[in-house]
């Protein structure tokens, strides 16, 4: 195996790796055997068909492509170990450069290297964590929200009144031109709660199922969709259904359904839960302030572009998942922002850079302060994941790999470092 090393900009290294024809041949045989396990070939058991039979069945390039994947997996680790003295970070970028019958196999890999980091002060920063409390107004609002979620709804044949639930088809226009993101069917709203824009729900009072109403409402100048900000928008609504909502009375019987003795105990538990959430949010705010101050005091060498792009991709995936979890479509979300995915990715760059810097600092501090994670802690974390994903075969296979164990070790080490930083800095 021949390896050529080349230094690139921004703490990156490129390795050009070539396997001779004789070195690559065993991988072509393994590739054919791997394919024959998944492709049914008459007269042969899975994985036992001869190379030439598999080649006639799927084509030589299919075998070579599988062989290339196997060769990269088998040789990349040794190539890095023998030729790179510094510590790579992130996922290597692999490109196959030569893959043809009766030829050597070659590929290039670009590695992002750990940049130089000069840590500034990271102890005794005296970050204050805000004390929190739950007011009676907040508790009352939460109880009202609780009642709202358990409201009984009965279809009624009468004019819409305050607090009713209404199902609408909505059309929105700007200067009589339909708005692309302003057409919806079967939209549910509660009269008395601002929907879309202030005053919308009040326009519905007095009309009945089957009736149509047209009206105009002004949008605020700071509205997030710039094409509508400060404009008078025209609405055309069709009432499909009207429901009267009856809110339950909060009494001891309801409380007992949640495993407590009475409503007084229910309220106390609810207040404790709200307090816990507030304390968690306060801790997150102080933790962010602490990490930002540590970043300000540190000095970084060139950060590999690969790391920043990878983190931007992770952030975009998190955002898409969050929108989907809330029942929305990511395309509609982009439309509401009046941005393309590429523009949104560009907006994320400053935060992505900050997250990469935090990750690098935590890695450096783990070394400097000799903060490690015990095998028992890793085992317990993986056991918990296996319990959660026991019915997901793919997830279970991933959790059992050495690579995933390394990922968990890094994750838990970073958390241990953060816990130490909080002990040193948050008051």
Region class of 169: left (phi > 0), else alpha (psi between -120 and 50), else beta: beta
For residue 300, give both structure tokens. Answer: 């970084």
Mean pLDDT of 313-320: 92
Q: Is the pTM of this model over 0.85?
A: no
Q: What is the token pair recorded at 159? A: 């004019």
Q: For 2-114, which CATH superfamily applies?
A: Trigger factor ribosome-binding domain (3.30.70.1050)
Model confidence pLDDT, tens digit, residues 3-49: 999 988 878 899 999 999 999 999 999 998 888 888 887 777 777 78
Residue 216 banded pLDDT, cuts 50, 70, 90: very high
Residue 276: both structure tokens together: 């816990």
Helix (H) or strand (E) holding 107: strand 105-113
Query: What whole-number distance in Å separates Cα of residue 21 and Cα of residue 31?
Result: 15
Does the structure show a pLDDT above 90 at 406?
no
Do 151-246 and 2-114 have the same topology in CATH? no
**Residue 48 confidence (pLDDT):** 78
Going from N- to C-terminal start, the domains of the chain cover 2-114, 128-150+251-301, 151-246
Asked if residue 166 lies in contact with residue 204, where contact means CB atoms within 8 angstroms, the answer is yes
Distance of CA 353 to the CA centre of its chain: 17
Give the CA-trace dihedral at 153, 158, 163, 165, to 10 degrees.
50
Q: Answer left, alpha or beta for residue 90, where phi above 0 means left and psi between -120 and 50 means alpha.
A: left
Contact between 313 and 134 (Cβ < 8 Å): no
Say what the pLDDT of residue 205 is: 95
**Cα distances (angstroms) measured from residue 315 to each of 186, 320, 340, 348:** 32, 9, 15, 8
- 218 in helix, strand or coil? strand
In 3D space, the residue among 83, 78, 107 whose CA is nearest the CA of residue 95 turns out to be 107
| pLDDT tens-digit map of 337-374 | 888 999 999 999 999 999 999 999 999 999 999 999 99
Does domain 151-246 fall under CATH 3.10.50.40? My reply is yes
pLDDT at 90 over 80: no
- Picking from 165, 120, 116, the residue whose alpha carbon sits closest to that of residue 302 is 116
Long-range Cβ contacts of 31-36 (<8 Å, 24+ apart) = 31/63, 31/64, 31/65, 31/66, 31/67, 31/68, 31/69, 31/70, 32/63, 32/66, 32/67, 34/66, 34/70, 35/62, 35/63, 35/66
Q: Which pLDDT tens digit goes with each residue over 119-165?
A: 999 999 999 999 999 999 999 999 998 988 889 999 999 999 999 99
- Percentage of the chain beyond pLDDT 70 is 100
pLDDT at res. 378: 92
Q: Residue 381 phi/psi, 5° resolution?
A: -65, -45
């Amino acid at each position: 195996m021949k390896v050529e090393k080349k230094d690139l900009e921004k703490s990156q290294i490129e390795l050009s790796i070539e396997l001779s024809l004789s070195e690559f041949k065993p991988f072509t045989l393994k590739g054919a055997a791997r394919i024959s396990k998944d492709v049914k070939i008459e007269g042969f058991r899975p994985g036992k068909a001869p190379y030439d039979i598999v080649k006639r069945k799927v084509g030589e390039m299919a075998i070579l492509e599988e062989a290339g994947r196997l060769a990269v997996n088998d040789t990349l680790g040794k190539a890095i170990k023998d030729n790179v003295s510094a510590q790579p970070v992130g996922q290597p970028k692999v490109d196959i450069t030569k893959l043809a019958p009766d030829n050597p196999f070659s590929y290039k890999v670009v590695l992002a290297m750990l940049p130089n980091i000069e840590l500034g002060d990271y102890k005794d920063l005296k970050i204050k964590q805000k004390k929190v409390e739950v007011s009676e107004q907040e508790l009352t609002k939460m109880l009202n929200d609780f009642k709202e979620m358990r409201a009984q709804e009965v279809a009624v044949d009468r004019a819409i009144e305050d607090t009713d639930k209404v199902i609408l088809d909505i059309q929105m226009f700007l200067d009589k031109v339909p708005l692309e993101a302003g057409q919806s069917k079967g939209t549910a709203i509660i009269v008395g709660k601002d929907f879309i824009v202030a005053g919308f729900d009040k326009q519905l009072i007095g009309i009945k199922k089957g009736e149509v109403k047209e009206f105009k409402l002004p949008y605020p100048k700071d509205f997030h969709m710039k094409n509508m900000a400060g404009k008078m928008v025209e609405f055309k609504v069709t009432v499909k259904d009207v429901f009267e909502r009856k809110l339950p009375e909060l009494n001891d019987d309801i409380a007992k359904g949640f495993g407590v003795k009475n409503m007084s105990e229910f309220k106390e538990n609810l207040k404790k839960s709200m307090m816990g959430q507030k304390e968690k949010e306060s801790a997150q705010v102080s933790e962010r302030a602490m990490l930002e101050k540590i970043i300000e005091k540190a000095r970084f060498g060139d950060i590999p572009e690969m790391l920043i792009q990878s983190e931007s991709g992770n952030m975009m995936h998190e955002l898409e998942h969050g929108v989907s979890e809330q029942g929305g479509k990511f395309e509609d979300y982009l439309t509401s922002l009046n941005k393309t995915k590429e523009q949104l990715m560009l907006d994320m760059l400053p935060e992505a850079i900050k997250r990469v810097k935090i990750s690098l600092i935590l890695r450096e501090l783990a070394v400097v302060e000799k903060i490690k994670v015990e095998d028992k802690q890793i085992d317990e974390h993986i056991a918990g994941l296996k319990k959660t994903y026991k019915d997901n075969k793919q997830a279970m296979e991933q959790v059992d790999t050495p690579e995933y164990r390394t990922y968990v070790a890094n994750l838990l080490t970073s958390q241990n470092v953060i816990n130490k930083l909080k002990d040193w800095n948050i008051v």
